[in-house]
Structure 1
Amino acid sequence: MEKKAILFTLLVVSLLVFYYSWLPDPNMKSEAYLPKWLLDWSNRNYNLRTGVPFIPFGYFLAAYSQITNFNKTDLNANFIFIQNLGVAGIVAFIAEGGQFLIQSRNPDLMDIYFAIIGSSVGAFTYNLFNKIRFKNAK
């Protein structure tokens, strides 16, 4: 059950990344439900705002990878980390590539870089929480 919940959350975060990446207006003025301070911050920090949703993406991707590979003893943790960064890069690449089809949007390679950095932060956070949890359980 936990594996399905994590996968569902990962898919929801991915869909949110695509939704916000493919909005016709890059200033997100059409998103009236977002607080004004958040809209102002995202417009001042254009590339950084791309990395923020990739923090939970990286977190849940690391959690999903751990659950999926739990019984494999010969698995290299560094390989899984690199693989997860590749998945985050592919998702960011697709999100940026979709902007070619939107007339008022311009893809930016720096967004892919910030997405990978955000995903790294999420994965490191998951691993840190995991180490603290298992250290306290002993």
Structure 2
Amino acid sequence: MPYTASQFVEVLVGLGYANAIHQIEPSLLQAAIEAFQRDYGLALTGQPDAATQERARQLVRNLQHSLNLVMRAQIPISEFYGTGTRSAVVGFQQLYHLPPTGIACLQVRRALEQEAKRQLRMQVCYSRHESYQTQVV
């Protein structure tokens, strides 16, 4: 299901590509969409086409999954960048001494991804250790 115009702007704002003014200024919104498309190797249409929206959905879902893992946020996984996602991002930013904006710009997403990977590696190591301990006993 496609985003509404306001939902897509909210996603762009949450990911650090736009701010509230982009919703009322079409040329700025087009530039924000093109920046997003450029960063993710999409066709530069300046429009929220199907491929652009799908990539945005994937990013938001991955972000929410990582926030749930790292921050124990319990955010429902969806394609929307809502208040729960924003609040969890602020919590992550505060915990990792980043400016608490609620915006998951590239720097924040990279830091979160690194922490999520670190925690997943720890879980795998712990599971292997537990499995070994069970076999030894």
Q: Same fold (TM over 0.5)?
A: no
Which structure has the bigger radius of gyration?
2
- Which band: TM-score by shorter chain? 0.3 to 0.5
TM-score norm. by structure 2 comes to 0.33
Q: Which has the higher helix share?
A: 1
Greater relative contact order (CA < 8 Å, ≥ 6 in sequence) = 1
